[in-house]
Structure 1
């Protein structure tokens, strides 16, 4: 099987945790590296580099064309040689490429949004909402990481068009470790939608001796980082910037818990990494964490500062609860191992290609 993957705005090889690089990069790098055993995969992204092998039968092709039509035309040139069985676009910007490809090709088209503008609670773009609606109408299949998001999507697309497959985690890299620290950990980009100001407000209600490690860089604007640093002035908060996954494992090892205070989280790969590391997760119950974390591997609360502070205080005071939640999470997360998830994707790709 030959698969065309479009990740227009960001390459799977970009350093994780800053700029445009986040969970989607982790997703594409891990999924397609594992599918390389069964498929030939070309990943197309914007950039000026030469073709770069990712793993086995997976190659990343950089196309130095910002114009979506011209970008799509170059993909079609590859299709004339490769004859792709499936096109899978990731994120709304890649979906625009998919819309142009749909005009000139009947290749089965799968789209994964990763984030959906209309479901966000802050800073909605009307233009993006309209484009995403067009993508929903035009693609053959929408893949969603949670059944919760699938239910929401079926209000905008036919039920049969939406398939839920969870994301995965590398359980050989992120492994259960002894929990001997009281440090709090946040992992992710520094972006208003990630809710760091809510976490800082919650910490102000608690013991001044608590230490928070923030691992990740600014999403797009350096001002976001400077703003949150200013907001946290005088508190025991360290800003480590983006780090490699090998280094990230050490942060999980030294954390008592991982906190994800996002306003919007379609899935939450960081939660899976924390669970694989046997660390309890604290977050909000109206996000995608409700399916991965639930009440098994952490504490999910209503979205307000006091509830967040109570959850943190409870786990700080209760080492047994931290251990039990972390231990349960490390067992649950085995269902999300990338090798297992990749097999589900392969079966889905094969069924869509046949039909």
Structure 2
């Protein structure tokens, strides 16, 4: 079986949507991928997007093979289905955040919405996202297949060791709270900083480590201003992008993982943290309760004081911490990339 794999920008960085696709497709047997991508020509924000909208459609049109299944791997590439006639089409739609959360009126996202409606099948990542697609795109839910993201248990497993924290100047006696993700408004990083400031008054020897790129214009500058106003410059560390191997080490080194996002199509980091034996506090919104079940503490992501209180409780109550670790390890085992690959192959065969 050969698939026209319409994957957008060619990149070696693995996170979010690219992680989902790479983990599934490296586990598919007897499936050949005709990769249709465009080169990374610039690190300047926006340049690659211009290439995506103006040049990439011509690359796709030239490289697709008539009788192949066409798999568009991201929702923000769905506009391609409007610009050209493609048969036997599947689109993986992780979320429709610009439409459902940010209420965008962007012409590009109107095109993406039209493109999603043209797909013969949509793969999405959660029951929550399936309902959102049905609601906002008006796409028939019977043609939406849920295939969850998962955890690579050969990489993310319990192997506790604090050594990697020395790289970030963190001492052995300091408690460490970790957040992994971007810094766009829905990720709620400002909230984390405010809650951390409250916690710091009760546990002086605590650090907040933030892994991931900003990925949203202007937000990092505002976060730095907020950190300076709270006098937390020495206590909050921005690690930037790290490799998967380093990320697994970081999960295993920290005391608590927090993920108070306002809106997620799924949210892989809480599962990865659980698989490494790290307790998780997350939001009680969007798909996150579906992801973590009863293995994490779920909180209103607008309640700064409550979030700080729960962080304090996990960091000081050993019995609670051990119970959360046990439940988290069990929960993470429910999600495997092998199962996700089998479900993807089933969709291909049915198509």
Which bracket does the TM-score occupy, shorter chain normalised?
A: 0.7 to 0.9
1:166 aligned residue (148, 151, 159): 148
CA pair 265-319 structure 1, distance change in 2 beyond 3 A: same
SS at match of 1:154: helix
Aligned residues: 323
Gaps of 5+ in 2: 42-47, 163-173
Whether 1:75 aligns to 2:60 is yes
Asked if the contact 1:179–1:323 (Cα under 8 Å) also holds between the matched residues in 2, the reply is: no
Matched, 1:218 2:201: no
Alignment of 1:222-301 (within 5 A): 223-233=218-228, 234-235=231-232, 236-295=235-294, 297-301=295-299
Q: Is the 8 A contact 2:5 2:36 kept in 1?
A: yes
Structure 1 residue 199: deviation in Å?
0.5
1:134-176 Cα deviation digits (max 9, x unpaired): 1232111111111122123223211212111111221100002
- Does the CA-based 8 Å contact 1:48-1:64 persist in structure 2? no
Once the two structures are TM-superposed, the CA of residue 227 in structure 1 deviates from its matched residue by 2.4
> Of 77, 89, 97, which aligns to 2:80?
97
- CA deviation string 1:3-40 (max 9, x = no partner): 122222x43x4334xxxxx30121122121122x2200
Is the CA contact 1:265–1:287 (under 8 Å) kept in the aligned structure 2?
Answer: yes
Q: Secondary structure at the match of 1:30?
A: helix
| In 2, Cα distance between equivalents of 1:310 and 1:280 | 15
Q: Tell me the equivalent position of 1:55.
A: none
Number of the residue aligned with 1:42: 34
Q: 1:194-217: CA deviations, max 9, x gaps?
A: 110011111122234221111112
Unaligned runs of 5+ in 1: 17-21, 50-62
Q: Distance in 1 between matches of 2:270 and 2:238?
A: 20
Residues 123 and 179 (structure 1), Cα distance of their counterparts in 2 relative to 1, 3 Å cut: farther
Aligned counterparts, 1:300-319, within 5 A: 300-304=298-302, 305-319=304-318
Give the one of 3, 20, 43 matched to 1:27: 20
Question: Compared with structure 1, are the counterparts of its residues 216 and 48 closer, same or farther at alpha carbon in structure 2 (3 Å cutoff)?
Answer: closer
- 1:88 CA drift (Å): 1.6
Q: Is the 8 A contact 1:257 1:322 kept in 2?
A: no
Q: Give distance in 2, aligned partners of 1:203 and 1:64.
A: 35
Post-superposition CA distance 1:103-144 (Å, at most 9, x none):
2x32x1111222312221x47344355233312321111111
Q: Aligned pair in 2 of structure 1 residues 76, 321: CA closer, same or farther (>3 Å)?
A: same
* 2-structure distance, mates of 1:142, 1:282: 31
**Whole-Å Cα distance in 2 between the matches of residues 5 and 301 of structure 1?**
39
Change (3 A) 1:286 1:179: farther
Tell me the distance in 2 between the aligned counterparts of 1:84 and 1:31: 23
Partners of 2:80 and 2:115 within 8 A in 1:
no
TM-score (norm 2): 0.84
Deviations 1:34-54 (A, max 9, x none): 22x2200123222168xxxxx
Q: Work out the CA distance in 2 between the residues paired with 1:317 and 1:148.
A: 34
Say whether 1:157 aligns with 2:143. no
Cα gap change, 1:298 to 1:162, in 2 (>3 Å): same
Q: Partners of 2:61 and 2:67 in 1: how far apart?
A: 10
1:288 to 1:139, Cα distance in 2 relative to 1, 3 A: same
